[in-house]
Chains A and B, each alone.
Chain A
Amino acid sequence: GEDVEQSLFLSVREGDSSVINCTYTDSSSTYLYWYKQEPGAGLQLLTYIFSNMDMKQDQRLTVLLNKKDKHLSLRIADTQTGDSAIYFCAETPGGSSNTGKLIFGQGTTLQVKP
């Protein structure tokens, strides 16, 4: 089946790096995504990685993918108070389940302390 798991909470100091982790079960996933949700808002696409890559960097964001362990992580360098939000990991199921839909984890709340 398709399942995505995340740790629920992470607290860091401003200026430190944040690492948010995610595991998934579908070995045929094609794309994996990170979305950010601020209070009262919808989900904002942050970045994504194709399943044949193991790393992608985009300014302060670094995505690492370990396909063997089905583990995805998002590193935010120089974390700012504006990064405080809920971060969702999501996968696009592969094979016959691939309809373009996303399967989301339960979200990790990132708290950034000044």
Chain B
Amino acid sequence: EAGVAQSPRYKIIEKRQSVAFWCNPISGHATLYWYQQILGQGPKLLIQFQNNGVVDDSQLPKDRFSAERLKGVDSTLKIQPAKLEDSAVYLCASSLFLNPGGPYNSPLHFGNGTRLTVT
């Protein structure tokens, strides 16, 4: 099966500019996640979608970050305006379904990420 696709692989912008990242999850995966991975740290969840609805966006800096998942498939993550501290790898992941409180295992499958450098 095809994996999670992300583009672009790399992006360099100046602070205060805007940028957008795109993700196409594994076919049939209902749940989509955007994680931010700062150099030397583990990934941190920004936003989680179930189909086209938001499940968790508690860690998303909503004054500058936005995300959407139209039609419950592809997703875009936007930063406007970018700050120096936004330099990171942005990882998209998908999983088969969401089973809150249940034991069923639905592991996350990750794309290769977009490396953003803000100068």
Residue numbers of A with Cβ under 8 A of B are 4, 30-31, 33, 35, 40-45, 48, 50, 88, 90, 94-95, 98-107
Residue numbers of B with Cβ under 8 A of A are 4, 31, 33, 40-45, 48, 55-56, 91, 93, 95, 98-103, 105-113
Q: Which of B4, B93, B98 contacts A99 (CB 8 A)?
A: B98
B10's nearest neighbour on chain A, judged by CB, is: A40
Q: Which residues of B contact A35 (CB under 8 A)?
A: 110
CB distance from A72 to the nearest CB of B (A): 14
Q: Is B107 in contact with A48, judged by CB distance below 8 angstroms? A: yes
Q: Can you spell out 19 A-B residue pairs with CB atoms less than 8 angstroms apart? A: A33-B107, A42-B91, A42-B111, A42-B112, A42-B113, A43-B91, A43-B93, A98-B100, A99-B55, A99-B56, A100-B31, A100-B55, A101-B45, A101-B56, A102-B43, A102-B108, A103-B45, A106-B41, A107-B41
Q: Is B42 in contact with A100, judged by CB distance below 8 angstroms? A: no
Q: How many A-B residue contacts, CB cutoff 8 Å?
A: 66
Q: Which residues of A contact B95 (CB under 8 A)?
A: 100
Q: Is A30 in contact with B108, judged by CB distance below 8 angstroms? A: no
Q: Which residues of A contact B102 (CB under 8 A)?
A: 98
A51's nearest neighbour on chain B, judged by CB, is: B103
Q: A101-B56, A105-B42 are in contact. Are A45 and B100 (CB under 8 A)?
A: no
In angstroms, Cα B99 to Cα A107, docked, is: 27
Main secondary structure of the interface of B (DSSP, over half): loop
Q: Is B42 in contact with A107, judged by CB distance below 8 angstroms? A: yes
In angstroms, Cα B91 to Cα A43, docked, is: 9
Q: Which residues of B contact A106 (CB under 8 A)?
A: 40-42
* Residue from the set A42, A50, A90, A95 with the largest chain B CB neighbour count within 10 Å: A42
Q: Which of A4, A41, A102 contacts B112 (CB 8 A)?
A: A41
Q: Which residues of A contact B56 (CB under 8 A)?
A: 99, 101
Q: Is B40 in contact with A95, judged by CB distance below 8 angstroms? A: no
In angstroms, Cα B107 to Cα A44, docked, is: 11
Q: Which residues of A contact B31 (CB under 8 A)?
A: 100
